[in-house]
Amino acid sequence: MDALLWRLVRRPAAFTIIAIALAGCGGHSSSGTSASARPQGFPEISNLTAAYVPGTCTVQGHPGRPLDATVHYTDSDGDVKGGTLEVTGTFLPSQQLVDVSFLLPSNAATMTGTTDGSITAFACVALNGSTGLLLSVALLDKAGHSSNILSVEVHAEALRGRNHETDVAGIEVRRP
**Do 126 and 96 touch, CB atoms closer than 8 A?**
no
pLDDT tens digits for range 84-95: 999 998 878 888
**Do 80 and 134 touch, CB atoms closer than 8 A?**
no
Number of domains in the chain: 1
**Do 140 and 8 touch, CB atoms closer than 8 A?**
yes
Q: What is the pTM of this model?
A: 0.74
pLDDT tens digits for range 117-140: 999 999 887 777 788 878 899 999
Q: Does the pLDDT of residue 21 top 80, yes or no?
A: no
Burial (CB < 10 A; 0-12, 13-18, 19+), residue 146, is: middle
pLDDT tens digits for range 55-71: 888 888 878 888 899 99
Between CA 90 and CA 124 the distance in angstroms is 15
Residue 53: pLDDT band with limits 50, 70, 90? confident
- Percent of the chain having pLDDT more than 90? 40
Domain CATH for 110: 2.70.50
The boundaries of the domain holding residue 144 are 2-173
